[in-house]
Amino acid sequence: MKKAVMIFLLCCLATVLFCLYSLPGPFIYKKPDPFLNLQTHHSVGEEPNTQGGTGHAALTPIHTTARVENASSDAVVEVMSTEGPTAGDGPTSSHRFLYLLQTEKCIPSNLRTNEALGNGNLDFDVLVLSFKHPCDDHALSHVQYISGASTTWTTGRNLLFETAMKWNTTYLYYIFMDDDVMLEDSEDRTVSPWRKFEAFLLSVEPAIAATDLQSQDLLGRLRRTHKAKGCARREDAAYIGTLWYDAIFNAFHAKAVKHLLPYISTFDQQTWWASQMGLIVRSEILFRGQIAFLTKIHPRSGQSRPYPRNLNFTPDMYRQFTSGLDAHFGPKCRTTCAQAMIDQWIAFGTNHGWDSVSLCLPPPPAHDPVEPCLYQCDLLK
């Protein structure tokens, strides 16, 4: 009798353990993350939801591929599809940030940490262009890969942009970065600078946000220029307005990126710096007064590959940079104001950039509408 009771109890215990093991997830309490205030899903064509939601959408890769031709670079890209009926539709996600970068094969170790881009439970997805070898490591489900051949830095970023624009999800911010970036916070090391940057984007919502590459001392030059021009600036401000920003780490609002990209690749054989110069010019004309330059968060670059570079931008280049901008003019755009800035760039080049009154405009107010020419004629000289 005792033996039968023991067998019965052991069977019951085994059944309970089996049921617990079969549950969809572990009973683990997770401390709420203050940065995980997510939006609900929105599709292409809908306005990005800035109010937030309560959950995450998992990204489950489906290993199908599609071929996409880029006429401007003769590059061929292989697209790793995720959720969706056809290849190239991309993830259906509730996340608000998409990081876009290009690297030789797989996302490098400096970006796979939880502090950076390694934690798939946070408010971002990642799109990587592998320009040498296709990545065969798909351990991070929130990281999607495309493989591109014969791309330059410029055409590679354009392929990332074009791929993201075809996805089912419209993110609030598209954050373009180089693969060797390591973010640092000069003031607070208790919070990830990556999460702090994302929190800044949500709290201010500028059209464009950029950071200072300390090795170039862009912030120092901006401050010296402000002082020389008599601009009203707080030296301890967390962010300032600018028209200059380095390409290493930039965030573009969904309502701005479609007016600024793709990058101009016409001059890649002469210099890869021309594409960023063109972006700076277009940014001032369309979004002057809406560009935030963070002063406390800094990207540190770990390597530099050889590429064509020079700063000899000719008037013909500036004409190309500004060509077709009128197609992006909204109701607040004034042709006379835009033409005045275009003429200044063509006539004086980078000298205009360092003499422009755009440098004295205040930093973007929080939650201003993101639309072209909001402050186009302000203080225009």
How would residue 321 be classed by pLDDT, with cut points 50, 70 and 90? very high
Contact 122, 35 (CB under 8 A): yes
Contacts of 11 (CB under 8 A, 6+ apart): none
- Read off φ and ψ for residue 166, nearest 5 degrees: -90, -5
Contact 253, 172 (CB under 8 A): yes
> What sections of the chain are H helices per DSSP?
2-22, 153-165, 193-204, 218-229, 254-260, 273-287, 315-322, 335-348, 350-355
pLDDT, tens digit (0-9, with 9 covering 90-100), for 286-302: 999 999 999 999 998 86
pLDDT, tens digit (0-9, with 9 covering 90-100), for 127-172: 999 999 999 998 999 999 998 888 999 999 999 999 999 999 999 9
**More confidently predicted of 182 and 40:** 182
Q: What is the pTM of this model?
A: 0.77
The pLDDT > 90 percentage for the chain reads: 57
DSSP code for 163: H
Q: State yes or no: cis peptide before 262, omega within 30 of 0.
A: yes
Amino acid in position 207: A
